Amino acid sequence: MKIVIPDDYQDMADQLPSYSMIRHHDVTRYREPARDLDQLVERLRDADVVVSIRERVNFSRALLERLPKLKLLALVGRNSHMIDFRACTELGIPVSTGVSNSPVAPAELTVALIVASRRNIALEAERMKRGDWPCTLSHRMRGSTLGIYGLGHIGKLVAEAGVGLGMKILVLGQKASAEKAKDAGYEVAASKAEFFERSDVLSLHVRLRPETTGIVGADDLARMKPTSLLVNTGRAELVAPGALLDALQKGRPGYAAVDVYEQEPITGGNHPFLKMPNVLCTPHLGWAEWDNFDLYFREMFEQIVKFENGEPMRLANPEVKPRA
């Protein structure tokens, strides 16, 4: 089979142990994103199977209608908002999906960003490389308040790390988050306003859904302290468009640590956050570590093997009538 893997940013899919499952096929990988829809079609049009690595490619109807040979869209991870599932079903394209949702790697990165930002680690490391000696004061974490917006699997691990650092945990979320917080002995914010006002570090762990898009608005950010830090390793769309940049320019919050962006990838240093010394940016590294990648890719490769052998697959659109 002809298999195409677009946007393999890390250039590592063929280095994973699980890659041996599809190595006998004709596999083409692209590291750099396509410059436009036409080039993307050129790359994918002869593929029997295309691999979708999370939200890196927008599999819109406009793209899918130009891929008449495509017989399987294999998703790395679980459902993606970047796939037009209705179009896939109508065009006869099965979409295989994973089941795993490991919270460990994104939780670790969140904690690393909190520590690095609060203690000015990245800023001072770069200054030292330039020959400067430390010239800033940072903020201690012990005794400060760590706000967890959404105490799910990732938020739970971040909260536990915060406790280990001596931080006080304040939780905001739906009923399930509040119940988990009470069971763990954490404080539950009485209101959204109180949550944003009191948090010294505020970390977003709400799952992106239509109803949570833009759940953090300009008014919320304006309530934060000039010394506080907003951390987003979840999804950029949780924050209203342009609200964080505007809030940082106004000084509330005073700092941000960001791993996700509305348009990815960020290339050529072309993002206003990268020009701000009070913002720590990483290139969507939350899930990017070897064990995590092999877990997600293995599940996807297993589905391709099942497709090759004509075996039942785990589909996000089980109602689909596959192309001949």
Active site residues: 235, 264, 284
| Edge-to-edge strands, sheet with 255-258 | 187-188, 168-172, 145-149, 201-204, 229-232, 255-258, 279-281
Cβ partners under 8 Å of residue 79, min gap 6: 85, 97, 316
SS3 assignment, position 230: strand
Under the phi-then-psi rule, with left for phi > 0, alpha for psi from -120 to 50, and beta for the rest, what region is 196? alpha
Supply the DSSP string of 29-95, one letter for each residue: E--SPPSSHHHHHHHHTT-SEEEEETTSS-B-HHHHTT-TT--EEEEESS--TTB-HHHHHHHT--E
Contact (CB, 8 A) for 126 and 253: no
